[in-house]
Chain A
Amino acid sequence: MTPVLEARDVVKRYGDAVAVAGVSFEVRPGECYGLLGPNGAGKTTLFKLVTAFARRDGGALTVFGLDPAATPSALKARLGVVGQEDDLDADLDVVSNLRVHGGFFGLGGPALEARIDRLLGFLELGERRHAPIMALSGGMKRRLAIVRALLNAPELLLLDEPTTGLDPQIRHAIWNALRALKAEGLTLLLTTHYMEEAAQLADRVGILERGRLIAEGAPEALVREHLPRFVLELPRSRQPDDAWRELARDVRLTEEHGDRVYLFHDDEGPLRRFQAERAPGGAQLRLASLEDVFLKLTGRSLDA
């Protein structure tokens, strides 16, 4: 199947700074691809390259087989974009925002009105039709931005950190909405620095760091590939003693980051025994996660 989006060695520089340093990945029809990376990794810059807000310095980038640098309008007509920052039109109310935005796609009349009604209902904004943007909460604004991005029935929806700064309830509501859209066959490309979001939504994730894709795959597969199944996370409050050394012989992997030590093992047993018998308070036994993969690959935390 031809990919919806294909990036090959994409490079973007700002002066001497390299924001995207040769990134290659593809987004396949109907999948949700998650770009995971800390602040400044280059996630937004990649989106800007897709929407022709930034000029590419190298590599090839196509969406629907179209190069944004060559045919931006034809490409953007088929794209939905939810930006990282609030860019709703503060001079217009909710429904006017949507009508005007639809107009930019050449849409109007009863067909657009029907779409507006359906999508406002879908994201539970029906009662806010005539509210000024200023009167909306952060969660409502984000949902409205999603409604707006769906007006042109896009074939690919870009979401730049769709739930950053929102409360857990709204976050789950947005995740549910995105899952429903995906169930209809919509292809999604989202960026996030929440592990949980990537694990919840993405079929595949690419981990982006300092403009490079340092790992890629299905979330569980990535964890399996890079780490044993279980991890015991300990505060590094004491010098290692004999018990540590004994366990260290047994564990598959030890990582130290900041004031934490991470002991990995394929079996829960030895870690649990150690936690019960020897570990200082504050130790936590859990399944290894994408966050641990990121820590292992980069030596720093994603949320940093």
Chain B
Amino acid sequence: MPEPAPQGSGAGPPALLERGGPPLAPPSRPVRLWAVVRRHALVFSSTLVANSLPAFLEPLLFLMAVGIGLGAHVTEGFAGLPLPAWMGPGALAITAMFTASFETTYGTYVRLVYQRTYQAVLSTPLTVADAFLGEVLWCGIKGLCFTSGVLLVFMAFGVAQGWAVALRPTAALVPLVGLLCGVLFGALGLRVTAAIQNLNNFNFYITGVLSPLALFSGMVFPVADLPPGLRHVAYALPLFHVTELNRLLVFGPGVCVPFVWVCLPYLLVVTTLVTWWAIRAMERRIVR
């Protein structure tokens, strides 16, 4: 006997949409932010090598050039530290700053203008504040990860060159400073992006703002050695506080400015203000 023909369920094809339940409620703020972070993490992980290798390679080459090249001629660094050891905390700060800055300048601009990513994102329960808080948070996470990586490189350097004994256990907290620095410069980049009409204009921000910040951050030489006027300007700049905080955690208060305790509150306040400023500007750019 032939098998009976297979029978359908009789109820027709399953419903495409599950309708009839209660209306879908928007997710909570943490869930929304996590969803944004997850998006960036997914994109990042699919291009891991291209994204992270330069970020590690750059400070590594820098430390090598300074440590092996310049260090051979400069026998004495600052505050009793050899030059590469002195520069490490600044290199850590700069790593977090540039990683975060590229993400929310070129990266965000391309998503905003060319890929229309936010048009889709903002058609969901997410608000402009959710989308960009999530993005800034992602910058923080990137800052944390890259700082951790460069910290390991830096410590290996210390072992190789024999000054690792000077390192303090609190150095393990440096990635958290990287997080804060990532959020701060992620937000600052976002504020610039909100104002910019052409991708090329970011060059002004990178070379006109970020590079000077790096030079006067106290990475290469102590800011205290600058003439008074310039010194006070440098003290007010955010990257100085990141570098100084890193130096405190890595080598202890002995190598820091006397007012190093201001650095953390300063960074927390500035980061909050800049984030708020950036999100307001993005709201004005997107919602018309």
- Name A residues whose Cβ lies closer than 8 Å to a Cβ of B: 14, 51-55, 64, 72-74, 76-79, 81, 83, 85-92, 96, 100-101, 103-106, 115, 118-119, 122, 148-150, 152-155, 180-181, 184-186
Contacts and interface: CB of A to CB of B under 8 A. Distances in A.
B115 interface: yes
A79 B116 CA distance: 19
A104 B126 CA distance: 7
Interface in B267-288: 286-288
Given A79-B123, A81-B123, A83-B120, A104 B35 contact: yes
A52 B14 CA distance: 34
Nearest to A54: B288
Given A87-B117, A119-B16, A155-B23, A96 B122 contact: no
Contacts of B18: 115, 153
B14 A106 contact: no
Contacts of B115: 87, 89-91
Contacts of B38: 100, 103
Contacts, number: 127
A153 B125 contact: no
B212 interface: no
Contact of A89 (B14, B120, B288): B120
A62 B240 CA distance: 50
A87 B116 contact: yes
A150 B39 contact: no
Contacts of A185: 19
Contacts of B15: 184
A104 B32 contact: yes
B114 to A, nearest CB: 9
22 contacts: A51-B122, A51-B123, A52-B127, A52-B287, A54-B288, A55-B287, A74-B25, A74-B26, A76-B124, A76-B126, A77-B125, A83-B116, A89-B120, A91-B43, A100-B35, A101-B124, A105-B27, A106-B32, A115-B18, A153-B18, A155-B19, A180-B16
A184 B287 contact: no
Interface size class on chain B is 35 or more
Given A76-B126, A77-B124, A105-B124, 11 more contacts: A55-B288, A76-B26, A91-B115, A91-B117, A100-B39, A104-B32, A106-B26, A106-B28, A153-B19, A154-B17, A155-B19
A148 to B, nearest CB: 7
Contacts of A54: 287-288
A88 B26 contact: no
Nearest to A121: B16
B79 interface: no
